[in-house]
Chains A and B, each alone.
Chain A
Amino acid sequence: MQAFIKHEGVVVPIDRSDIDTDQLVPKQFLKRVERSGFGKFLFFDWRYLNDNYDENPEFELNRPEYRDATILLARRNFGCGSSREHAPWAIADYGFKVVLASSFADIFYNNSFKNGYLPVKLSEEQIEDLFQREAKHRPYKLNVDLEKKIITDQYGLKIAFEIDDFRRDCLMNGWDDVGLTLRFEDKILDYEKKHGIV
């Protein structure tokens, strides 16, 4: 997994709550057996007018000012719905590095860390402020520093955010979860012996 330490990029505002995993990647694209190549399907129903991938010019990701956006800004309960990891794969594959929202669905939040981009939970007020700043300073850039756990812009904004230390370490080092756990294989075996599993 690619390590994440800090990132500066353009923000694309998607002013919605409850963006669910079906919206992130509709199910017709879940039938692949590979892990890569999902970026093209991200927000499919909103992003394209038809199945020929003709773009909907109204949708944020298609607007010229957001073409290179790498930071996604949304509202409440981002990533609700299914546990499928296709949604995080699509977000990562599209090139997003950071997703900002006032809350995330648990499973989605958890999955995000396994895919090299950073989900950041902020308060509703902070999110609202970011929407306003984005509208005012378009194209609006943010700098997200995972090491220091702060977000800044060039207009004096400074927001501290919270994140679990273990997840932060993993992300900053690009560690693979399975490898990390297997360091404790002897403990797993002990457990299995104690519980009559082996």
Chain B
Amino acid sequence: MAQESQEPRAPKTMYDKIWDSHVVYQEPGDDSVILYIDQLLCHEVTSPQAFEGLRLAGRKPRRPERVMAVQDHDVPTTDRDKPIADPIARKQVETLRANCREFGIRLYDLNDVEQGVIHVVAPEQGHVRPGMTLTCGDSHTATHGAFGVIAMGTGTSEVEHVLATQTLRQKKMKTMRITIDGVLPKGSTAKDVALYVINKLTTAGGAGYAVEFAGEAIRALSMEGRMTLCNMAIEMGARVGMVAPDEKTFAYIKDRPQMLKGEDFDKAVEEWKNLPSDEDAVFDREVRFNAADIKPRVTWGTNPAQSVEVTDRIPSPSDFDNVEEQKMAKAALEYMALEAGTPMTDIKLDWVFLGSCTNGRIEDFREAAKVVKGYKVADGVRAIAVPGSGVVKKLAEAEGLDKIFIDAGFEWREPGCSMCLAMNPDRLQPGERCAGTSNRNFEGRMGKGGRTHLVSPAMAAAAAIKGHFFDIRDWKYN
């Protein structure tokens, strides 16, 4: 010990700090550790088999008070007073309810006002604190990294593992820092940052890394914006995306229902201030971008890396230099029924979807409402606004945003994942084209044969009014 204290302490990244303070045990000769998991989030789709596994093995959740659950993935966003029509969805929703009751787990049930998309509800209710480790059987768990958290998506076996042991066996990831210098230009949002970074680094660029987003442009983002960005870390292959906590973080989480209170909170804030990466911490990979280069973007293909600026044209497969990417571009254009060279703003839409754990928060609806105000949805476009949670919905209604949407011809729905993955009745028909604020434009994601373009909330709103993509920088606000 005495000897150790003479050595200067090695500088650490935020990921290292949180990781180190959660190591329960490392078996000699093993390069993975048993990592304590502070918080587990569950939803109806990836949890039933985990609970079933527990029961079969005669086990119980180790710390049920550190688990919370919502029903979000396959719930309908209309007619909530009626039983769910799809019998299989109904069964999943009921199974989660029964499992939570049996094992003493806090469930925000379908008709509670707090219900909503898991990654919207958990921070909103105060289940997420800086410095935590958190997992969920869902790849967009990285969202919570926005609070300075190691938040990881897992499969169902690992949901069961966390339930039974409150730990996971994990190998440390490599670290990557993505710094965005400067100020985002007008019209560019956190969503555009995400699409830009994924476009530059590819869908696999982050694989194996815990990514920390840093720099002036990131510090300037609201908590909602940081969540949007961390949410999409997985689309570049990174399981973890993080932003260092700061005063904005503390202000956002303060007074949330499940948050520490009073003195406990103040004490915790002092500790959380030590979380940011040390100045001289070394990352395995450093990437820097200039905020000024980030313009409003639209995806044209079938993975989130395939995007261009809204003022660009649809690329041609021959624009790509490796054969593999050319092949992918060709297949994507075919699936999307797009012609290389077409201006992005000529692409006509059948649907607009506002919502999801990427852009279903209050700020997103405020931004979209500003655009929509005083306009009507274009003929031939069906537009739905799906709040990320009941709390978002209530807040939006208190601000009169629902009226703005409804007056314009949007449908104002109940909270849930909705068209983001179309496990409920909200889905595209084959061939239909949608501008969505969600995170995945995979083949069939919004319904078999459906075509998805990912954009920011303001860009989606403008597209709904115009019937085609439109450069938000030229928008005339009412």
Contact = CB atoms under 8 A, between A and B. Distances in A.
A33 B208 contact: no
B425 to A, nearest CB: 12
B422 interface: yes
B139 A85 contact: no
Contacts of A165: 30
Contact of A18 (B88, B160, B166, B203): B203
B319 interface: no
A114 B52 contact: no
Given A106-B239, A191-B24, A197-B63, A31 B443 contact: no
Interface string B72-97: 01100000000000101101100100
A83 B36 contact: no
Residue with the highest number of chain A CB atoms closer than 10 Å, among B36, B204, B448: B204
Interface stretch (A54-62, A131-139, A140-148, A180-188): A180-188
Interface in A14-64: 17-18, 20, 22-23, 26-28, 30-35, 45
A17 B328 contact: yes
B207 A31 contact: no
Contact of A76 (B139, B166, B204): B204
A17 B324 contact: yes
A105 interface: yes
B423 A181 contact: no
Contact of A188 (B165, B237, B448): B165
Contacts of B422: 27
A178 B444 contact: no
A165 B24 CA distance: 20
B95 A114 contact: no
B171 interface: yes
Contact of B165 (A27, A83, A103, A178): A178
Interface residues of A, number: 51
B92 A77 contact: no
B154 A107 contact: yes
A166 interface: yes
Interface in B37-95: 45-46, 48-49, 52-53, 57, 59, 62-63, 73-74, 86, 88-89, 91-92, 95
B167 interface: yes
B237 A80 contact: yes
B24 A106 contact: no
A20 B88 CA distance: 24
Contacts of B73: 30
A187 B35 CA distance: 11
A83 B324 contact: no
B259 interface: no
B394 interface: no
B423 A30 contact: yes
A81 B161 contact: no
Nearest to B38: A197
Given A77-B203, A84-B45, A178 B57 contact: yes
Contacts of B448: 26, 45
Interface string B442-466: 1111001000000000000000000
B19 to A, nearest CB: 14
B207 A105 contact: yes
B460 to A, nearest CB: 21
B127 interface: no
B74 A178 contact: no
Contacts of B49: 33-35, 85
Contacts of B316: none
Contacts of A75: 324
Given A31-B423, A81-B139, A88 B57 contact: no
Nearest to B156: A85
B324 A81 contact: no
Given A22-B443, A30-B423, A80-B203, A181 B157 contact: no
A166 B34 contact: no
Contacts of A33: 48-49, 52, 91-92, 95
Given A107-B153, A114-B155, A177-B169, A84 B36 contact: no
A80 B233 CA distance: 12
A177 B161 contact: yes
Interface in B211-238: 237
B237 A106 contact: yes
Contact of B169 (A28, A77, A181, A185): A181
B31 interface: yes
3 tightest A-B CB contacts, nearest first: A85-B155, A111-B155, A33-B48
Given A22-B440, A33-B91, A188-B25, 7 more contacts: A20-B442, A28-B423, A30-B74, A31-B86, A83-B137, A107-B139, A181-B169
10 contacts: A27-B421, A30-B45, A81-B442, A82-B139, A85-B137, A85-B155, A114-B158, A187-B25, A188-B166, A188-B167
